[in-house]
Structure 1
Amino acid sequence: MMTQMAREIAEQPEAVARTLDQLRPLRPELARLAHGTRHVLFVARGSSDNACVYGRYLLETHAHRMAALAAPSVATHYRAAVDLSDTLVICVSQSGETREIVETLEWATAQGARTVAVTNDGTSSLARAADLTLVTHAGRELAVPATKTYTTQLAAMAILATSVAPDPHALDADLARVPAEMAQLIERRDGVDEAVEALAATTETLVTGRGLLLGTSLEIALKLEETCLRPVRGLSYADLRHGPIAVVDADMAAVVVAPQDGPVLGGLTEVAVSLRERGTRTIGIGGDDAFARACAVRMPGPNLPEPVAPLAAVVPGQLMVEALARRLGLNPDSPRGLSKVTQTDG
């Protein structure tokens, strides 16, 4: 019997296509709202935070706008008085009802910021409080682990970043190919069963990536933790090399997420080689032929250039997590102790 999580993974190509179509016309309005600002701050938690990691990298590498991830507690607990009059604040929440995120947007407004909400509910508290709302068109998501709400947030990040880029349409042809690439990955499921067996053989897991796909790595690590109930470390490979690699051994599985091109691919291939030399069960997602040879198991990624690859590169990881949960006798639709809307405090 197909799980709800599997159904919602399968709905992603259409959901992402809808979201791109609905949000593309908002580019001029986003550009007007951002005009005159010098800084961009993202506010989110959980999977939404991982989507913001992609948004930050895309803004900086493609739109040449510096961005950062804000700490909501600066607003909700410390109530710091800071000048945000030259700042665009992007608050992201799939439900739009996480009180911490709503309060942070309200605080940012009081500090002079211009605000954008990214949410799957255009009538939510977050949407009502923002200057402009990007509504993701995922449809209702019933499984607790975010899948289609996450990838539609990535679509919103792509629209946001391109709206303030020198050429807003430069990535449009590649974005148009994303839904078909997602559908192909879902249909083929290449390497998923082998990856599940490698992960099931150990309780110690590391997930690593870098650059535009770092958010994808962190999202896969989060999904493994919340859905399969396993402690998982998600790290940039740069951070991995600065100490944590010392604990990697043959008792561990490592998932390495790589683009098919771009400046970080060579380093990720070297990391995959190093991990395998330590006896680690190395599972690769994406990459090129050299990367595939460096991994014990490889799940192909999308045939997309690095700037838009994150919209589809998470799909093999989602398939792997859903199948691993079933392999372990767990219900991926309703992980222990979690609910669809999470409140940070009490």
Structure 2
Amino acid sequence: MCGIVGYIGKRDTQTVLIEGLKKLEYRGYDSAGIAVFTPEGLQIAKSIGRLANLESKLENTPLVGSAGIGHTRWATHGKPSDVNSHPHTDHSQKFSVVHNGIVENYLELKEELIRQGYEFVSETDTEVISHLVAREYEGDIVKAVQKAISYMRGAFALGVLTEYEPNKLVAVRQASPLIIGLGEGENFIGSDIPAILNYTRNIYILNDGEMAVLTEDAVELMTIEGNFISREMISVDWDTVTAEKGGFDHFMLKEIHEQPKAYRDTMRGRISENGGKVVFPDLKLTEEKIRSLSSIHIVACGTAYNAGLVGGAAIEQLVRIPVMNDVASEYRYRSPLITPDTLVIVVSQSGETADTLAALREAHANGAHVLAITNVVGSSIARDADDVIATLAGPEIAVASTKAYTSQLIAFYLLGLYMAQVRGTQSEEEIAHVIAAMQSLPEQVESMLEKADAVKAYAEQIAGHEHLFFIGRGLDFSVVQEGSLKLKEISYIHSEAYAAGELKHGTLALIEEGIPVIALVTQDNVLEKTVSNIKEVKARGADVMAITHEEHVADLLKSVDQALSIPKTLPMLTPALSVVPLQLLAYYAALARGNDVDKPRNLAKSVTVE
């Protein structure tokens, strides 16, 4: 999410910053800006939209200097605008900051700073940082930054400059990536390797809780407490394209591996400090409104619709309120029963999906409160909705959605828990129990990704087939619908997902000798029934691979040909884990068939026409 570039040296700083930001465009952004030390002092240029807009501004008034910072912003706090763009300054415009991540306690810090006389011009959490640094400055920018971050909670990668010390550039990492580039008589910072690859291949990678002080001739590394540290320099031998993919072969694989971070980012700032409750400080949906709701409609397309199937089941379980899922392209045309007591939740990765936007407007026309779950804060859907829960997955480049889907699941779980708190449908102990399990999900996904070779081997087995079936019951059925869609999207293998209990009502006719069937078996309350359904397809010659918890593998191998295990969590949360091997299955099957994984035929990332 977002891109950071910083430079100190004798080159044309503006050129270094702009070229570096261009190398980070693949990360996605909605505005861009730079701050440069010039003979006239610290000067800033920024603009909403593409980098070309910023370049146009700079054509007549270039910023010429020896040090600077640049940023491409992906909106989280405040809609995309020139004012909300980075870099941000303090009221004296002597300090400038670029920031990736989220300051969780920015509201309380902002209120404190306003009481002390500091004036804010943007809606961002980042502007708080520039004012904090200015407040704490007593002649040493390093100490001022250290004091400022001691007040902050959350995730941040920072680049900080002050006009008072133009020979220094300060960088900080806390739960958001940042690297240092080492040159001859010049040094760099970047949120990702491609930003600096044209200038140097020698880097330091900052760890969480570390900072760096850069001058033209030296780089000092230290902890945020001020203890100096040494670090082995790394020499990068990637080409530019490989660097943009973080060393992965494809964006889709990179984005699958980014899911643990996306989980953490989507939860960050929405769980109380003691872990006992969910908080949504910016939600306009009042507690009174939540208590008055009579029904919920979840409306989306494709992968977002599949996320809504899981989300709807979770909300029904937690909140005990009727939930109806609708494909957005059908929603308007069935004359849905919408009243002012209906909450309509629209889900879209891009926030520009035409059918979902039309459904949103239909809901508004009928008096419903509309809440959007989207990955793009400044999108059309986000602007038109009454409320927005941003998923904070960061930009997705691959057409086939992975981390956006799972981040949407996290958003649904959080919303369901929040509504359960308000309506009193779950005890405080149960809510805290679910939250604790959610906080373990990132590590559990990481453990699965370490065992991807087992999925790869099975994917290569099925790559030669033209037909395949998925089966599951309960939440497993919702998840295999997403698994089937992924496989179709990028491998072009015809696959269908069936509710396992429905097989005997017609679809068993499609099972023939040797056809692959993938059975998801993670819901203990229907485990025995699912095993019976597996035996039905086995009896007709299917080759069955089961995905289940480790504790069930031995017993299932009596009924299936192969089995993969996933970590154990609460049944309601299992979709956030069980979908990962299905994503990998689609990826490796497409790879084995020689397909363009990131750009499948006939498909677009954002569907902006009906």
TM-score (norm 1): 0.93
Cross-structure match for 1:213:
476
Assess if the C-alpha contact under 8 Å between 2:501 and 2:530 holds in 1.
no
* Residue 161 (str. 1) matches residue 416 (str. 2): yes
2:438 alignment counterpart: 175
* C-alpha distance in 2 between matches for 1:194 and 1:342: 33
CA shift, 1:129, in A, is 1.2
Give, as a single letter, the amino acid of the residue that structure 2 aligns with 1:91.
V
Partner SS, residue 280 of structure 2:
helix
CA apart distance, 1:277: 2.6
In the TM superposition, 1:107-118 aligns within 5 A as 107-118=362-373
> Which amino acid letter does the alignment assign opposite residue 485 of structure 2?
L
Deviations 1:205-240 (A, max 9, x none): 011112122221000000010110121111111222
Separation of aligned partners in 1, 2:286 and 2:474: 25
Return the offset for 1:173: 1.1
Q: Report the equivalent of 2:295.
A: 39
Partner amino acid for 2:592?
Answer: R
The more displaced of 237-246 and 47-56 is 237-246
CA distance in 2 between counterparts of 1:27 and 1:185 reads 33
Equivalent in the alignment of 1:69: 325
Offset, 1:81? 7.5
The 8 Å contact of residues 47 and 150 in structure 1, kept in 2 or not, is answered as yes
Question: What is the SS of the residue equivalent to 2:598?
Answer: coil
Could you tell me which of 394, 408, 414 is aligned with 1:139? 394
Map residues 21-36 of structure 1 onto 2, 5 A cutoff. 21-24=268-271, 25-26=279-280, 29=283, 32=287, 33-36=289-292
Of 288, 296, 307, 2:561 maps to 296
Distance 2:305 2:371 in 1: 15
> Could you say which structure has the larger radius of gyration?
2
Residue among 103, 124, 135 paired with 2:379: 124
Q: Which residue of 2 aligns with 1:273?
A: 535
Determine the C-alpha separation between the residues in 1 that align with 2:495 and 2:548: 20
Question: Letter of the aligned partner of 2:280 in structure 1?
Answer: L
Partner residue of 2:356 out of 80, 101, 106: 101
**Closer/same/farther in 2, CA of residues 118 and 210 from structure 1, 3 Å limit:** same
Q: CA deviation at 1:73?
A: 4.5
Provide the secondary structure at the position in 2 that maps to 1:234.
Answer: strand
Q: Is the Cα–Cα contact under 8 Å of residues 305 and 327 in structure 2 kept in the other structure?
A: no
Task: Flag the structure with higher strand content.
Answer: 2
Query: How far is the alpha carbon of 1:138 from its aligned partner?
Result: 0.7
Identity of aligned residues (%): 28
Closer/same/farther in 2, CA of residues 241 and 157 from structure 1, 3 Å limit: farther
1:54-75 CA distances to partner (integer Å, 9 max, x unpaired)?
0111122232221011353455
Whole-angstrom distance in 1 between the partners of 2:286 and 2:532: 40
Could you list the runs of 4 or more consecutive aligned residues of structure 1 that deviate by over 6 angstroms after TM superposition? none
Q: Deviations over 1:170-194 (max 9, x none)?
A: 4111111111110110111263133
Give deviations 1:130-175, integer Å, cap 9, x for gaps.
Answer: 1110100111111110000010011111112112222343411111
Alignment-derived partner of residue 11 in structure 1: 258
Kindly indicate which of the two structures has a greater share of residues assigned to helix: 1
Q: Which moved more, 1:53-62 or 1:117-126?
A: 53-62
Structure 2 Cα separation of the partners of residues 255 and 51 of structure 1: 20
| Structure 1 Cα separation of the partners of residues 415 and 475 of structure 2 | 15
Question: Who is 1:59 aligned against?
Answer: 315
- When structure 1 is superposed on structure 2, of 157-166 and 18-27 the one drifting more is 18-27
Between the aligned partners of 1:83 and 1:4, the Cα distance in structure 2 is 40
Aligned to 1:272, the other structure's residue is in SS state helix
Preserved contact between residue 479 and residue 575 of structure 2 (Cα < 8 Å): yes
Contact 1:190 1:299 in 2 (8 A): no
Q: Are 1:191 and 1:297, in contact at CA under 8 Å, matched by a contact in 2?
A: no
CA distance in 1, matches of 2:338, 2:535: 47
Q: Which residue of 1 aligns with 2:605?
A: 340
Taking structure 1 as reference, are residues 126 and 297 closer, same or farther at Cα in structure 2, changes over 3 Å only? same
**Partner residue of 2:524?**
262
Residue of structure 2 in register with 1:86 after alignment: 341
